[in-house]
């Protein structure tokens, strides 16, 4: 059998223009139940989103199954600074936060964090890549676009179909008779540019 290559993941952080790299990093944050929760300075793994899409595609209807909820949990966890994750979980449990309380947070935080790659983040690779086949793309030209996601929650409590509101600007249309496949997606090109430059 042939070896298809050796791949690695480039360490990615978001640096602000004019920011001193040696200074204490600044984080975006949100307030939840009186706790300030910081968000990572980088692009999260795409696996939680892929797992969520797979779980939703496997569902018979628009209901959320346990796999989809687990993947949504992983999406949120991948965006919150690890040092703050425990405080977030304690606050959510203490307040009795339900799905309808956590869904808008997940949507907003995921959209904000993943949307950073359209802002031309800097590459801060730690050490040389051991990739034998090039998996890096060149830095994209600034497009002036905002996040490839749009988050537009209605005034009512969100439901499973509201997950469909987290959609890319270049929205994919599912085949006729398969509305279950209309899940949040990022184009391969946008994702590759973001992962390579973030």
| Per-residue pLDDT tens over the stretch 63-109 | 667 887 888 888 899 899 999 999 999 999 999 998 888 888 988 88
Question: Two tokens at 33?
Answer: 């139940």
pLDDT at 125 over 50: no
The stretch 151-172 carries a mean pLDDT of 42
pLDDT at 31 over 60: yes
SS3 32: strand
Contacts of residue 124, defined as CB under 8 A and 6 or more positions apart, other chains included, come to 11, 12, 13, 15, 21
- Own/partner contacts of 56-64, CB < 8 Å, gap of 24 or more, are 56/163, 56/180, 56/183, 57/180, 57/181, 57/183, 59/180, 60/180, 61/180, 62/159, 62/160, 62/161, 62/179, 62/180, 63/160, 64/99, 64/160, 64/163
pLDDT at 144 over 60: no
Q: What pLDDT is attached to residue 12?
A: 54
Q: What is the pTM of this model?
A: 0.51
**Between residues 46 and 16, which one has the greater pLDDT?**
46
Q: In whole angstroms, give the CA distance from residue 75 to residue 71.
A: 6
E-strand ranges in 33-189 read 35-38, 149-150, 167-168
| Mean pLDDT lowest among 48-57, 64-73, 145-154 | 145-154
**Between residues 192 and 131, which one has the greater pLDDT?**
192
């Amino acid at each position: 059998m042939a070896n298809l290559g050796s791949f690695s993941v480039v360490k990615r952080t978001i640096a602000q223009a004019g920011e001193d790299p040696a200074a204490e990093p600044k984080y975006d944050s949100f307030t939840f139940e009186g706790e300030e929760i910081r968000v990572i300075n980088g692009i999260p793994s795409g696996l939680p989103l892929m797992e969520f899409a797979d779980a939703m595609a496997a569902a018979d209807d628009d209901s959320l199954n346990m796999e989809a909820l687990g993947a949504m949990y992983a999406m949120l966890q991948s965006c919150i600074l690890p040092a703050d994750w425990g405080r977030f979980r304690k606050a959510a449990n203490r307040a009795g936060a339900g799905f309808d309380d956590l869904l808008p947070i997940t949507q907003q935080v995921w959209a904000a964090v993943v949307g950073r790659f359209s802002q031309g983040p800097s590459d801060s690779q730690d050490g040389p890549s051991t990739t034998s086949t090039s998996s890096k793309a060149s830095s994209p030209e600034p497009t002036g676009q905002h996040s490839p996601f749009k988050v537009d929650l209605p005034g009512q409590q969100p439901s499973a179909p509201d997950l469909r509101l987290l959609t890319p600007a270049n929205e994919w249309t599912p085949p006729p008779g398969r509305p279950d496949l209309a899940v949040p997606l990022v184009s391969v090109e946008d994702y590759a540019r973001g992962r390579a430059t973030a």
